[in-house]
Structure 1
């Protein structure tokens, strides 16, 4: 035996093919390599001290300094929380689910569990455990149990780089965990420097706040809640042991997918706690017999987007996000990682009332029929959004009556708000001083306009040209041949408002729609999308403002505009009513009251300045002109009477051709709103109404703005306004009452 050993030693030094030679040589080379690695680490770490210029550049040293400072000073991504106007949370946004915890908010059991299994000499080393490194090198090279050598400080560095610095950067994450001398050297140097900037307790707390515990759950605070429904401070020994076990391999040790492996690793941690004299052996054996104790069905954590909100609040949540990012320029990643608390303008009770009203009129399961209600508070310095709801729930399951499209606020109603657009024609005629609100206007049953370039059905060509004139008729024949403009707004004859367009000019009418509130709506194309200048068809290449106003293809503009047959936003229609009730002051509808950062300090949110869109006298007179829609003879009278409505208000119904969609716009001095019924997926076809909760799509329907939309509006507004003082409408101004 001895001679065989001497043979092998000689053979190893000279080279041989014995299997034993290969195995031993491999082990020696591995040991040599690891010793070399350790030597390089030591040398690399000492170079800045002894001044070995040229081996590690000053730039590299500065990078290490910077990284160690980042870990010491910069917190990881946090959850942004949205609250209602009273401060009650209703949604969360995040990239990493994390509940930050301080040291005194983490149980001692959790601290000792992680130290025992990951770095038992944590309080003895200065960032790098050389004794552990050599022990691991010898064990790994000699074929013994594979051991790690990274300290908790080094793991903190690596996890911070992976989960914070390089999150979303796959290449950066790969570099942060690659097996290389350069990476280990950099990691070790950062760890040593970090221990000069942070106490051991701060490093341990930082590590426990940054590490992942599977399923995108980061940090012990979030893990305690998601795994056990408790807090980090209340974690007991077996719970702490399971969480400490998870960091070794979160995916493989997932307690819901791999409970046996998770339990095996948990029990291993309990043994390590015994070895580290932080747990009695008999207690460990008792804990090993306990079940994992995690919440059933998977971790208890909120969704990371607006899906986290109650289905009634999801549309509002999404509008907050869109407003901050798209309108105000906030970085979306910052919104999702900044740990902000955003107090919104949402009125929880008003939203629930509005949601109930929308569903009472149109079932959420009704295929391809949306019933929306948007509520805005008038004001001369802010227009706060109070509620954004639909009969559909906010969510991702269409079969359950859910959608994630912004039905109440985006330009989603492709077939339009119908005669609600007559508001803009009346306002433009007043502004142009063509007619007063109490002046008499003509009401023919049929009208051929020879100044509007639009191809209506059965309309003759303009004499001497191939250009067809625009022909329009009223919804019903007979009736008055003339009435006041105020009565015309209540009874809504089509011919009257086309004649008023001729008088005021299409340019001022279209501009009025934009001024009063249709800012985004008028910027979209008649197809409801962003205009494509290269498209051959004008309804795709032009904005609505360009298309309906005077242009090269239609020098006089397009008179159908007043009948509201183009895509429109429900929120913007509500804001039109708010502008009128605010003395003609337009403000961008805002869903935000205040934003505080992770430190509780105010985060500046700069809204666009409000504008005096039209003279106050004009707005006040227009409000009076719109005050008879709920009175006998008005198109919304039946809906108002059904709830016993008795408050002064403004209102205007709208119905598109073939009842493809319908709307009601109304406001009291305290609250404005717009309700719309439309088909969000298929832009054409009518709607049939046969009572509350019974709306269905047909080819030719009988839906009108005074039915489902108006009933939705009054069904919601009656209880919302309960207890609010009854306020009168403003007085009309003589300059706009009788002009002719």
Structure 2
């Protein structure tokens, strides 16, 4: 009996609240008693914030093409007039046929719901306004506690919703409330809002929904899981027909129209927009953009808030990605290092615009996915640093020699600065940044260079290790390291080279012994191309926040890192590698500068280069551990390589990328060599090694490498070995007029004087009748003699 009395009292209170609601102008006045009953109700908080509901954010490339859409809820907001009248009639018929007549609640329906809820049978609010209030509170919840509060099945919650609904009806028009409801409602199968539902179920905008389609979508709202067309098509069709019958009752349609609509088969082709970076055609760039937003304090107080903003605010994110560059680079990477190659090698490339830092392209030979054990799949972006989803980096080889050149020019050394550069040497007297003296460093050449005298011109063209070791010692190791940091270089783990004294005692810095990312190397080379202006790598140019109605413009962050003369002088020196140097056959038909790089034991291979319009760095290696899985005797795709050097795979990737990326762009010249650095002449070549080492003596007495072009493979190998050389037969054949299978070219050229045991690379002809573009100096391989044991383990051999 007491329980029954209690329930009746609660019902009485609710009834009083409902009566109080009728005091609104939309219904009419009541007596003094009703107002007194309603007094406490009307004192409840009534102001409900109604922000736009969560919606999809879109990432665009620089031409406006969609890279990806990212969202927690698949929703696209639409205005009232862009919703089919048939859709509006259908939702009103099935959810709230008196919507335009009441003041926020259907009295009988709300009272019925309250009584049934007390009896243990949950029933939702009966008016669209109340449903809208509930959805707004759910979407506004920022914690599980708030979410539970908005969803609790209690009289208290219904009273709160009722109070908010009544207040909402006084400050919003009916059309505004209905628009908000149709945009926030969940329509099943991941579709939030009427526009997304129309696109998802019928591939049409909400403005073009037909009668049968509108009735289908309207019927999903009450029980979106029970009526999910994907799993319960029969129930969905039955529910659609119920909606059609209700539309007849409300007078929205005739019985004939309803019967005609019922005959339409429910033949759905569900179309959900791809969510996130995995399905994107540029997944690693997409992931980089996501990382940029989530890690940048400009976009929110913490990572959680920034991630929520990205996935709910309906952002339009405009980026720097150039589709032409990206397409050309990805094609080149996939061609030379297929994504699912059995050797598990990876190629990664970043392309930067000089003077802005804009990231024009980001490519790697992997599919984007979380299963690292699956061949050809990774979620690691090997082009960038670890704090942006990248790896801990890779040793960069001789691409770092450009840093030493810049440091030397910055200290006023002229191009003519020269050193006797024998096949091997020992450098002493180097000091770290704290003044500590380093042990003597013994090293050997591993590039296509003559023993003898080199200046900056010839030393760069030949990539002479012994020259650059002496140049670094002349400049100072610490000054060379600091130059790298001025150019934005740091370890891929985020630490600067000068942060820890233990990391400074690295004599082989000039040979690229530090682990860095292609992004950082490309950006350093972009600084040379820009005349000395360093710009932070930038992926985002503008973010439009549709939810807040604001726009964030992001300007390049640039500063002068080195003088224009130093930048132009370094660029000039690097351009000489295409003029008879290690990049001789990697030209792109326009002015460019570049540098090959191969690390100790061919653990990794690089190529970095630039034009006035863009700079790129390409890395090839094994992410499992380059030292454990080097680039020797490997088959990548259908090609076998005895050894991979910077000009073997990275160089052609760079070349093909740049050719495709520059198509249609004007040809711009690099700056001339600054007169302040003196003559650009090379020193007279010497046929003798001045250090007197036995290793430097020629391998034969006939003046150099025998001319074996045109011979059979076996005969050529025999003659070269008889002359005292080691021989590698390249897996890459050349187009040549020589008979197929015979020797088309050798590297170095016939007649070149080499030290004992040096390696000569033999290229066989494919018999196609065309000479290789590189003549007898094929550019997709470099000469690397066998390195003497004086090179310490772990030091980079360079090129």
TM range (shorter): 0.7 to 0.9
Aligned-partner Cα distance in 2 for 1:46–1:582: 73
Aligned-partner Cα distance in 2 for 1:29–1:237: 47
| Residue deviations 1:668-694 (CA, integer Å, cap 9, x gap) | 112211111122243432124779844
Does 646-655 or 277-286 show the bigger shift?
A: 277-286
User: How far has the Cα of 1:210 moved from its partner?
Assistant: 0.6
Aligned-partner Cα distance in 2 for 1:630–1:692: 26
State the match for 1:103 in structure 2. Answer: 80
Cα distance change of structure 1 residues 309 and 646 upon mapping to structure 2, 3 Å threshold:
same
Aligned-partner Cα distance in 2 for 1:371–1:259: 47
CA contact (8 A) 1:586 1:611 kept: yes
CA RMSD of aligned residues (A): 3.4
User: How far has the Cα of 1:188 moved from its partner?
Assistant: 0.7
User: How far has the Cα of 1:619 moved from its partner?
Assistant: 0.7
Q: 2:498 aligns with which of 538, 541, 545?
A: 545
Cα distance change of structure 1 residues 199 and 498 upon mapping to structure 2, 3 Å threshold:
same
| Residue deviations 1:513-559 (CA, integer Å, cap 9, x gap) | 111132xxx2x4xxx5356xxxxxxxxxxx53334xxx2x47x7311
Aligned-partner Cα distance in 1 for 2:407–2:394: 23
Higher helix share: 1
Q: 1:687 aligns with which of 615, 631, 641?
A: 631
State the match for 2:312 in structure 1. Answer: 337
State the match for 2:349 in structure 1. Answer: 373
CA contact (8 A) 2:393 2:493 kept: no
State the match for 1:709 in structure 2. Answer: 650
Q: How many residues align?
A: 657
Does 579-588 or 677-686 show the bigger shift?
A: 677-686
2:612 is paired with a residue of what secondary structure?
A: coil
State the match for 1:173 in structure 2. Answer: 147
Cα distance change of structure 1 residues 671 and 609 upon mapping to structure 2, 3 Å threshold:
closer
2:349 is paired with a residue of what secondary structure?
A: strand
State the match for 1:10 in structure 2. Answer: none
Q: 1:635 aligns with which of 566, 576, 582?
A: 582
User: How far has the Cα of 1:240 moved from its partner?
Assistant: 1.6
Aligned-partner Cα distance in 2 for 1:97–1:232: 15
Consecutive unaligned residues in structure 1, runs of 5 or more: 1-12, 16-24, 455-461, 532-542
User: How far has the Cα of 1:613 moved from its partner?
Assistant: 0.3
| Residue deviations 1:232-254 (CA, integer Å, cap 9, x gap) | 01112222222112211222322
CA contact (8 A) 2:61 2:322 kept: yes
Cα distance change of structure 1 residues 328 and 346 upon mapping to structure 2, 3 Å threshold:
farther
CA contact (8 A) 1:594 1:602 kept: no
User: How far has the Cα of 1:468 moved from its partner?
Assistant: 5.6
Cα distance change of structure 1 residues 171 and 608 upon mapping to structure 2, 3 Å threshold:
same
Q: 1:274 aligns with which of 248, 257, 260?
A: 248
Cα distance change of structure 1 residues 261 and 216 upon mapping to structure 2, 3 Å threshold:
same
CA contact (8 A) 2:431 2:476 kept: no
2:386 is the alignment partner of 1:445:
no
| Residue deviations 1:332-370 (CA, integer Å, cap 9, x gap) | 322322222222222112211111111111111125322
Cα distance change of structure 1 residues 416 and 54 upon mapping to structure 2, 3 Å threshold:
farther
State the match for 2:27 in structure 1. Answer: none
CA contact (8 A) 1:412 1:567 kept: no
CA contact (8 A) 1:358 1:389 kept: yes
State the match for 1:321 in structure 2. Answer: 290
Aligned-partner Cα distance in 2 for 1:182–1:267: 35
CA contact (8 A) 1:580 1:623 kept: yes
**Structural mapping, 1:279-318, within 5 Å:** 279-295=253-269, 299-310=270-281, 313-318=282-287
| Residue deviations 1:400-453 (CA, integer Å, cap 9, x gap) | 7343322223353733221101111121122223x3223323312223334458
CA contact (8 A) 1:360 1:692 kept: no
1:639 is paired with a residue of what secondary structure?
A: coil
2:394 is paired with a residue of what secondary structure?
A: coil
Cα distance change of structure 1 residues 441 and 432 upon mapping to structure 2, 3 Å threshold:
same
2:541 is the alignment partner of 1:593:
yes
1:544 is paired with a residue of what secondary structure?
A: coil
CA contact (8 A) 1:510 1:545 kept: yes
2:138 is the alignment partner of 1:162:
yes
CA contact (8 A) 2:351 2:362 kept: yes
CA contact (8 A) 2:382 2:393 kept: no
Q: 1:419 aligns with which of 398, 404, 416?
A: 398
Q: 1:133 aligns with which of 95, 100, 110?
A: 110
CA contact (8 A) 2:449 2:463 kept: no
State the match for 2:234 in structure 1. Answer: 260
Aligned-partner Cα distance in 2 for 1:57–1:674: 68
CA contact (8 A) 2:415 2:456 kept: yes
How does the TM-score come out when normalised to structure 2? 0.75
2:552 is paired with a residue of what secondary structure?
A: coil
2:551 is paired with a residue of what secondary structure?
A: coil
State the match for 2:521 in structure 1. Answer: 573
CA contact (8 A) 1:452 1:557 kept: no
Aligned-partner Cα distance in 1 for 2:638–2:418: 39
Aligned-partner Cα distance in 1 for 2:578–2:636: 19
Q: 1:394 aligns with which of 340, 361, 368?
A: 368
1:517 is paired with a residue of what secondary structure?
A: coil
Q: 1:242 aligns with which of 216, 220, 229?
A: 216
Aligned-partner Cα distance in 1 for 2:457–2:607: 17
1:91 is paired with a residue of what secondary structure?
A: strand
1:638 is paired with a residue of what secondary structure?
A: coil
Aligned-partner Cα distance in 2 for 1:51–1:452: 92
2:247 is paired with a residue of what secondary structure?
A: helix
Aligned-partner Cα distance in 2 for 1:365–1:118: 54
User: How far has the Cα of 1:189 moved from its partner?
Assistant: 0.9
| Residue deviations 1:467-507 (CA, integer Å, cap 9, x gap) | 86432211169822221212222221222222222222222
Q: 1:509 aligns with which of 476, 480, 490?
A: 480
User: How far has the Cα of 1:325 moved from its partner?
Assistant: 3.7
State the match for 2:507 in structure 1. Answer: 559
Consecutive unaligned residues in structure 2, runs of 5 or more: 25-31, 300-305, 684-799
1:590 is paired with a residue of what secondary structure?
A: coil
2:361 is paired with a residue of what secondary structure?
A: strand
How does the TM-score come out when normalised to structure 1? 0.81
Cα distance change of structure 1 residues 173 and 365 upon mapping to structure 2, 3 Å threshold:
same
Does 215-224 or 706-715 show the bigger shift?
A: 215-224
Q: 2:411 aligns with which of 432, 435, 440?
A: 432
Aligned-partner Cα distance in 1 for 2:624–2:634: 22
CA contact (8 A) 1:229 1:300 kept: yes
Aligned-partner Cα distance in 2 for 1:572–1:213: 47
CA contact (8 A) 1:84 1:344 kept: yes
Q: 1:660 aligns with which of 600, 603, 609?
A: 603
1:246 is paired with a residue of what secondary structure?
A: coil
Aligned-partner Cα distance in 2 for 1:351–1:212: 38
